[in-house]
């Protein structure tokens, strides 16, 4: 049986809601860090969520809403995000003594997950990084994992893409002609690309 509840975290008079989706027989936890302003409903994240719920794994979908204020300075914003999200993860782990925890991160979520790791070493987890920005790649260098990106990602400049292409492919998937969303104009080709990304992440996190 699959059932969902909100993990509510209140800091600085703001309450954020993170969806914790659980199954009776789960032994692992996957934490999904979406891109800024996005939800866990984006195609790759949505299919991964369904896969893991079908395979004895609970899922925590992180939300950035109501963690910080729009006019917060960057250092204040980052501190609030780290505090709020780490509290949400720890609260999810109170539900069950999970054998393993994995992070699946997209765009801005790559930065957030690594800030949490730096501030809370006890929350370091094996990670898959989808569509990281240049800033995100700097954070990822401290906590390596699987990187999935496209050669047409407009958040990466040409030198960065060239450098990525020169790396060993063990922990790297670069999709030719694909943008930040891991999609292309053709619907059916996009479906195939999503399938490739989802399978690579599942294989990596085993």
Residue 98: which CATH number?
A: 3.40.50.1820
Domain that holds residue 100: 2-205
Sheet strand arrangement including 126-130 = 2-11, 14-23, 57-61, 28-33, 100-106, 126-130, 146-150, 172-175
Residues 36/108, Cβ–Cβ less than 8 Å: yes
- pLDDT of amino acid 185: 93
Q: pTM above the 0.85 mark?
A: yes
Q: At 169, phi and psi to the nearest 5?
A: -90, 0
- pLDDT of amino acid 38: 73
Identify the CA nearest to 143 among candidates 173, 102, 113: 113
Token digits for 67? Answer: 């963690």
- Rounded CA-CA distance 14/36 in Å is 18
Give pLDDT < 70 ranges for the chain: none
Total number of domains constituting the chain: 1
């Amino acid at each position: 049986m699959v059932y969902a509840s909100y993990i509510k975290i209140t800091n600085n008079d703001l309450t954020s809601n993170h969806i914790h989706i659980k199954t009776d027989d789960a032994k692992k936890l996957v934490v999904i860090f979406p891109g800024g302003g996005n939800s866990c409903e984006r195609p790759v994240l949505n299919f991964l969520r369904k896969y893991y719920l079908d395979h004895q794994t609970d899922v925590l979908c992180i939300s950035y809403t109501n963690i910080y204020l729009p006019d917060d300075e960057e250092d204040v914003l980052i501190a609030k995000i780290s505090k709020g999200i780490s509290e949400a993860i720890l609260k999810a782990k109170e539900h069950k003594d999970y054998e393993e925890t994995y992070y699946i991160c997209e765009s801005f979520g790559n930065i957030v997950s690594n800030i949490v790791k730096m501030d809370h070493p006890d929350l370091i987890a094996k990670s898959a990084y989808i569509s990281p920005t240049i800033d995100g790649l700097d954070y990822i260098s401290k906590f390596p994992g699987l990187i999935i990106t496209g050669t047409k990602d407009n958040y990466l400049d040409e030198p960065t893409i060239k450098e990525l292409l020169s790396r060993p492919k063990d922990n790297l998937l670069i999709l030719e002609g694909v943008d930040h969303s891991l999609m292309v104009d053709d619907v059916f080709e996009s479906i195939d690309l999503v399938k490739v990304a989802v399978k690579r992440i599942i294989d990596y996190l085993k």
